[in-house]
Amino acid sequence: MIEVVLNDRLGKKVRVKCNDDDTIGDLKKLVAAQTGTRADKIRIQKWYTVYKDHITLKDYEIHDDRSH
């Protein structure tokens, strides 16, 4: 279980707990449940890289920064 912190660029941060084998599409659904925004309107990106829905968080090397 990892915790991903997302910024909506309007000053709000959302913390979502998910698994590293979840896809970006799954992450969008979890964010949509917390924020009330429709999942198809959410775009997850880091700098200029827009993440694709069918690729897992592990493949994008998204992980917790906490050391175990």
Strands 13-18 and 2-7: antiparallel
3-state SS of 12-28? CEEEEEECCCCEHHHHH
Q: Encode pLDDT of 41-60 as tens digits.
A: 999 999 999 999 999 999 98
Cα atoms in the 13 Å half-sphere on the side-chain side of 13: 4
pLDDT > 70? residue 68 = no
* Average of per-residue pLDDT across 33-48: 91
Mean per-residue pLDDT of the chain: 88
CB distance 4 to 60 below 8 Å: no
Residues 6+ apart with CB under 8 A from 32: 38, 39, 42
pLDDT per residue as tens digits for the range 6-18: 988 788 899 999 9
